[in-house]
Amino acid sequence: MPKGRVNLAHVLKRRQPAKPFSENCTCQREPNPYNRDVPELPDLSILADAFAAAFVGRSVLAAEAPGPLTVRGTPDELRALVGQRLQKFYRRGKFLWLEFGRDRVVINAMLTGRLQLAADPAVKKPQKTLFIIRFGARDRPSPAAAWTSGAEWIPADDATPELRYRDVAQMGKVYLLPRGVERAVPGAGPDDMGPDADDPDLTLDVWRQRIKRHPGELKNLLRNQEFVAGVGNAYSDEILHAAELLPTRKRGTLAPEEVDDLYVATRATLANAIEVLRERVPPTFEKEVRDFLAVHNRGGEACPRCGQRITQTEAGGFVTSYCRHCQH
Ligand SMILES: [Zn+2]
């Protein structure tokens, strides 16, 4: 029996007979919100571009919070959004920022929050829709990401589309930040987050300097938002596979060229995912497309690089997938 098979049997000892891991994963029988595909930088980048194209340049007709516990802010602050024009919709780390004429709104979707673009208020609301902003006609042209140009899912200028936030586990939060009101957004402060993992200013030199402060295991390093922002459980696995580095490898053991490889793999993996998702996600923005990933959640399947079986572990509810044959 090949070496990898023995080790895999150890990791997946409950599995008889051998099948793809997903068919035997306990999360299939007992839904565990931690095993969902949590939105990360590529997912949220697509969403931010698309929602900017759909909503920027429109003014708020109505703002509602059917799930008041999700919203950090007062009913008066929510009502005060009415009439304000949306000027920007962008991602920073795993947070989505909406900048209106006067006030701002921040969405932290966390594990299970999802956003829907409803071209018309008559579109049926999903269950657990907790926050809604209805926009009026677009009264001002607005620049948008080139890839969204001419997309059929962009509501017509005279439409009254809705942004809807739903969250089955009600873990995410929507923060209202009226001008003049100090309200903390945990995790989004200037000291909470390093540069975005795809930030053009995050050069190789900056990466080399920043990584020195973090001696620990590589998977934890990549998921640490204080190091670089936007990478989570799924894409950390993908980046480490691309870099041919094991998730448990300690940063302190990396040769200088491996530090550089990790940078290149980070940028390439995220850029590639964004390319794929631009084609695959619209117009259903509330779904997470992950079927193109190389290793994450593919335990027991063949590694696309070496053909050996992918190993998968689950600690604290978080899946880690890697190839013990071609990652070192
Ligand atoms: Zn491999």
Q: How far apart are the two ends of the chain, measured CA to CA in Å?
A: 21
Span 255-267, mean pLDDT? 98
Span 239-256, mean pLDDT? 98
Whether the predicted pLDDT of 10 surpasses 80: no
Confidence at residue 111, expressed as pLDDT on a 0 to 100 scale? 81
CATH for 41-177 (3.20.190.10, 3.40.50.720, 2.170.270.10, 3.40.50.300): 3.20.190.10
Q: Give 85 or 28, the one with higher predicted confidence.
A: 85
* Distance of alpha carbon 97 from the chain centroid: 14
| Residue 178 alpha carbon to ligand 1 centre in Å | 50
| Residue 162 alpha carbon to ligand 1 centre in Å | 44
| Residue 19 alpha carbon to ligand 1 centre in Å | 18
Whether the predicted pLDDT of 188 surpasses 60: yes
Confidence at residue 141, expressed as pLDDT on a 0 to 100 scale? 83
Write out the residues surrounding ion ligand 1, Cβ under 5 A: 303, 305-306, 323, 325-326
Span 41-67, mean pLDDT? 97
Whether the predicted pLDDT of 22 surpasses 50: no
Confidence at residue 142, expressed as pLDDT on a 0 to 100 scale? 85
CATH for 3-38+193-322 (2.30.30.60, 3.90.1170.50, 1.10.8.50, 1.10.510.10): 1.10.8.50
| SS3 label, residue 258 | helix
Instruction: Lowest mean pLDDT of 133-137, 168-172, 205-209, 275-279, name the range.
Output: 168-172
Largest CA distance in the chain: 68
| Residue 242 alpha carbon to ligand 1 centre in Å | 10
| Residue 77 alpha carbon to ligand 1 centre in Å | 52
CA distances from 276 to 43, 68, 207, 238 (A): 10, 35, 25, 14
State what percent of residues in the chain have pLDDT above 90. Answer: 81
| Residue 137 alpha carbon to ligand 1 centre in Å | 52
**Domain residue spans of the chain:** 3-38+193-322, 41-177
Q: For residue 121, what are the contacts with CB-CB under 8 A and spacing of at least 6? A: 134, 160, 162
Compute the mean pLDDT over every residue in the chain, rounded to the nearest whole number: 89
Order the strands of the 162-167 sheet from edge to edge: 58-64, 129-138, 162-167, 113-118
- Binned at pLDDT 50, 70 and 90, residue 36 comes out as low
Rounded-to-integer distance, Cα 250 and Cα 103, Å: 43
Q: For residue 324, what are the contacts with CB-CB under 8 A and spacing of at least 6? A: 4, 7, 246, 308, 311
Whether the predicted pLDDT of 314 surpasses 80: yes
| Residue 5 alpha carbon to ligand 1 centre in Å | 13
Confidence at residue 53, expressed as pLDDT on a 0 to 100 scale? 97
| Residue 7 alpha carbon to ligand 1 centre in Å | 14
| Residue 101 alpha carbon to ligand 1 centre in Å | 51
| Residue 312 alpha carbon to ligand 1 centre in Å | 13
Confidence at residue 315, expressed as pLDDT on a 0 to 100 scale? 83
Whether the predicted pLDDT of 2 surpasses 60: no
| Residue 328 alpha carbon to ligand 1 centre in Å | 10
Q: What is the pLDDT of residues 104-145, one digit of tens each?
A: 999 999 888 999 999 999 999 999 999 999 999 998 888 899
Residue from 200, 268, 197 nearest 238 by CA = 268
| Residue 241 alpha carbon to ligand 1 centre in Å | 8
| Residue 298 alpha carbon to ligand 1 centre in Å | 12
| Residue 240 alpha carbon to ligand 1 centre in Å | 11
CA distances from 262 to 20, 245, 267 (A): 28, 8, 9
Q: What is the pLDDT of residues 194-240, one digit of tens each?
A: 999 999 999 999 999 999 999 999 999 999 999 999 999 999 999 99
Whether the predicted pLDDT of 5 surpasses 80: no
| Residue 44 alpha carbon to ligand 1 centre in Å | 28
